[in-house]
Amino acid sequence: MTSVISVPPSLDEHSFEQVFEQLALVPEGDKILVDARHARWASPYGLTALLCVAQSRADRMGFAVPEHADTVSYWSRTGFFRHAAELYDMHGTVPRARDAHESDVLLEITPITKSDDVHGVVGRIQQKAADILHGQLNLDTAITGAFGMTLSEACQNIVEHAGLGGWVAVQTYKYARRLGRRVVVIAVCDAGVGFRKSLESSPGHRRSDRWDDAMALEDAVLRAVSRFRHGDKGRGQGLAGIRRFVGRWDGKLSVRSGAARIAITPDWDEDVPMTEGLPFFPGAQMQVTIPERLGEAPVRARSAGASRARPRGTL
Amino acid sequence: MTVNIDVGTVLRGTVCDLYSNLVTRPTGAAVRTAIEEQVLELGASVVTTIDFSQVNLLDFSCADEIVAKLLLRYASDDGLPGFLTFRGIHEGHIDPIETVLERHALALVSWHEGAAELFGHVDDDERSHWEAVRDHGPIWAEALAPILAVSEAFAAQQLDRLRVRRLIMRRDDGFTVPGTVARAS
């Protein structure tokens, strides 16, 4: 017998919990078909997490592709089917792979397995990021460097902690339901060991009665604890930097790992800070959302390479 | 003697000639190791300047591996000889650099268009004395004390703290900021 996992019509960080819930009920070893026939829309988180679903079990799953032509076309432009075909047994018509050239696909779905991949995504994103972040989202040009830094640190977490490759995608889209503005979203997902097991591997880790996925997320996201911190206090700054970045640009950070999810939320979002008791899913799934800036476009800052003002005495 | 080490050149020569961004911890570690080897080879240099002018993006991991760990090597008892300064630090580098400096309680001297600036973890007394040395040096404690309206002993103590942290250097004519060219009389 094959268990069918129904993909909801709209797939984002919240609705994806329906997929995790269904998946958690299927015993290991059972056949699974992920049925996306009725899917109409998916965020970068939804698409990258779908790839992680395929990696989360030893047995190869089936995947029923969306029926709606626009959905198939868009998912194809994100690079989804190219990667899905390597992980799933595909059912349905999959278009030939095309380059992701649409303006809202800032970075098509890209596998991250080693440090070189991080250099690749950062290098590629910089070619488009400045125009899209400033031109479409009305953000100050100063965001471009910080955006690349955030992308780099998020992807490095996969290389250093996941123990299994992961995926990254960056897109812009109109976030109509919650915000009514355009947003740029970074999704970084893996099906690796997750935050709890990563921190447990540290020589300095002291397990307490309260130790669980939620506490591991608090340690990593809020307290900058890293499994490498033992003997190297320079570690753990990546997530702290990401947190500062979303705070500075009125953005949102959410990280799901194991059975818990933590969210750093701005005023425009009503997400809860911590959710526990979620259906277990391996690895870590992170989303960074930066909204369009309202009001007049900021004065274009000096380009990268320009120095900050240094008014103090000259020698 | 001052030696300039271009980080962008080191990156392309050591890690990959296609890279222009200083991202990922292994990249930072490789670049730092190459810089340390250059410093040891050059041996006689008094001031080594690490030039970030050709670096577009610097992430926290590379800032930690290159900036913080180089400074820690200079600060250790058996550390690298001489003084370390920086140049070419632009707006986009400042957040990761200041973050790692605070994390390790370090400070650095950065040069830009002939002006020196102090970044990182310093208290108010250290900063005021450093700025006074920058603006009035070469200078001894007895000349510095009236400028800052402190006792000579206190000024001497602060100058020694800055010297130990290698944020100022002692010359025959007084304390000065590393990288300062001797003024013509």
What sign results for the dihedral spanned by CA atoms B65, B67, B68, B70? positive
Residue A313 has a pLDDT of 31
For residue B20, pLDDT beyond 80: no
Which domain-ending residue is among B83, B98, B121?
Answer: B121
Residues A208 and A157 in one domain: yes
Highest mean pLDDT among A19-23, A310-314, B94-98, B112-116: A19-23
Residues B117 and B130 in one domain: no
Which contiguous run of DSSP H or E holds residue B24?
Answer: none
pLDDT over 70 percentage in chain B: 96
Considering only CB atoms, B91 lies closest to which of A119, A234, A308, namely A308
CA atoms of A38 and A9, how far apart (whole Å)? 6
Considering only CB atoms, A119 lies closest to which of B21, B114, B115, namely B21
Write out the E strands in B30-161. 47-51, 83-87, 107-112, 115-120
Residues A283 and A148 in one domain: yes
pLDDT-wise least confident of A224-228, B94-98, B99-103, B154-158: A224-228
Residues B174 and B85 in one domain: no
The mean pLDDT of B151-160, rounded to a whole number, is 97
| Residue-number span of the structural domain to which A1 is assigned | 1-96
A311 located within any domain: no
For residue B123, pLDDT beyond 60: yes
Which residue, B2, B57, B63, is CA-closest to B28? Answer: B63
Query: Quick check: B104 and A301 CB within 8 A?
Result: no
As beta bridge partners, residue B50 has: B5, B86
Residue A160 has a pLDDT of 79
Q: With bands split at pLDDT 50, 70 and 90, how would you rate the model's confidence at B185?
A: very low
Backbone angles phi, psi at A164, to 5 degrees: -155, 145
What sign results for the dihedral spanned by CA atoms A103, A104, A109, A112? positive
Residue A25 has a pLDDT of 94
pLDDT over 70 percentage in chain A: 87
Residues A120 and A64 in one domain: no
* Stronger pLDDT, A300 or A241, i.e. the higher one: A241
- A92-103: per-residue pLDDT in tens? 988 776 655 556
Residues B81 and B111 in one domain: yes
CB contact, 8 Å: B102 with chain A? no
B13 located within any domain: yes
A307 located within any domain: no
Query: Quick check: A156 and B21 CB within 8 A?
Result: no
Three-class SS of residue A304? strand
Which residue, A5, A259, A79, A57, is CA-closest to A164? Answer: A57
Residues A233 and A177 in one domain: yes
CA atoms of A235 and B32, how far apart (whole Å)? 16
Average pLDDT, chain A: 86
* Cα distances (angstroms) measured from residue A203 to each of A118, A226, A227, A229: 27, 11, 8, 9
Residue A100 has a pLDDT of 52
- A128-178: per-residue pLDDT in tens? 888 888 888 888 888 888 999 999 999 998 887 767 899 999 999 888 776
Query: Quick check: B27 and A312 CB within 8 A?
Result: no
Q: With bands split at pLDDT 50, 70 and 90, how would you rate the model's confidence at B117?
A: very high
B137 located within any domain: yes
CA atoms of A127 and A109, how far apart (whole Å)? 16
The mean pLDDT of B14-34, rounded to a whole number, is 86
Strand order in the sheet with A88-91: A2-6, A31-35, A61-64, A88-91
Query: Quick check: A234 and B92 CB within 8 A?
Result: no
B184 located within any domain: no
CB count within 10 Å of CB B146 equals: 10
Considering only CB atoms, B24 lies closest to which of A118, A145, A241, namely A118
Instruction: Tell me if the bond preceding B138 is cis, omega within 30° of 0.
Output: yes
Residues B94 and B128 in one domain: no
Query: Quick check: B60 and A238 CB within 8 A?
Result: yes
Which domain-ending residue is among B101, B121, B141?
Answer: B121
* Stronger pLDDT, B119 or B2, i.e. the higher one: B119
Mind telling me how many Å the CA of B153 is from chain A's nearest CA?
25
For residue A309, pLDDT beyond 90: no
CB count within 10 Å of CB B142 equals: 11
Mind telling me how many Å the CA of A255 is from chain B's nearest CA?
20
Residue A305 has a pLDDT of 32
Domains in chain A, number? 2
Query: Quick check: A123 and B16 CB within 8 A?
Result: no
Which domain-ending residue is among B121, B144, B170?
Answer: B121
Residues A148 and A44 in one domain: no
CB contact, 8 Å: A120 with chain B? no
Which residue, B84, B146, B154, B156, is CA-closest to B120? Answer: B84
A202 located within any domain: yes
Query: Quick check: A308 and B53 CB within 8 A?
Result: no
B25 located within any domain: yes
For residue B137, pLDDT beyond 90: no
Residues B156 and B111 in one domain: no
- Which one of A232, A237, A302 would you mutate to disrupt binding with B, by most B Cβ within 10 Å of its Cβ? A237
CB contact, 8 Å: A158 with chain B? no
- A194-234: per-residue pLDDT in tens? 999 888 877 777 777 788 999 999 989 998 777 665 566 76
CA atoms of B132 and A187, how far apart (whole Å)? 48
A305 located within any domain: no
Residues B97 and B133 in one domain: no
As beta bridge partners, residue A168 has: A110, A188
Cβ contact B145:B154 at 8 Å:
yes
Residues B6 and B94 in one domain: yes
CA atoms of A84 and A62, how far apart (whole Å)? 10
- Provide CB contacts within 8 A for B27, sequence distance 6+: A115, A119, B11, B15, B19, B62, B65
Cβ contact A141:A134 at 8 Å:
yes
Residues A23 and A152 in one domain: no
CA atoms of B2 and B122, how far apart (whole Å)? 25
pLDDT over 90 percentage in chain B: 70
Residues A205 and A249 in one domain: yes
The mean pLDDT of A246-265, rounded to a whole number, is 95
Cα B32 to the center of its chain, rounded Å: 14
Residues A140 and A285 in one domain: yes
CB contact, 8 Å: A186 with chain B? no
| Residue-number span of the structural domain to which B9 is assigned | 1-121
Q: Six-digit token pair at B5?
A: 């080490």
CB contact, 8 Å: A55 with chain B? no
Residues A108 and A92 in one domain: no
Residues A124 and A207 in one domain: yes
Residue A231 has a pLDDT of 61
Q: Six-digit token pair at A207?
A: 């397990």
Bridging pattern class, strands A105-112 and A166-175: antiparallel
Considering only CB atoms, B103 lies closest to which of A156, A234, A302, namely A234
For residue A13, pLDDT beyond 50: yes
Considering only CB atoms, B60 lies closest to which of A142, A145, A153, namely A153
B185 located within any domain: no
Domains in chain B, number? 2
CB contact, 8 Å: B25 with chain A? yes
**DSSP code, position B54:** T
Query: Quick check: A310 and B100 CB within 8 A?
Result: no
Domain CATH for A109: 3.30.565.10
Residues B72 and B155 in one domain: no
Residues A133 and A17 in one domain: no
Cβ contact A169:A107 at 8 Å:
yes
Mind telling me how many Å the CA of B19 is from chain A's nearest CA?
7
For residue B77, pLDDT beyond 80: no
Residues A19 and A164 in one domain: no
Domain CATH for B165: 1.10.10.10
Considering only CB atoms, A310 lies closest to which of B24, B60, B117, namely B117
Cβ contact B138:B171 at 8 Å:
yes
10 Å CB burial of residue A178 (0-12, 13-18, 19+) is middle
Q: Six-digit token pair at B34?
A: 């190459």
B183 located within any domain: no
Domain CATH for A15: 3.30.750.24
CB count within 10 Å of CB B13 equals: 12
Query: Quick check: B16 and A119 CB within 8 A?
Result: yes
Residue A238 has a pLDDT of 84
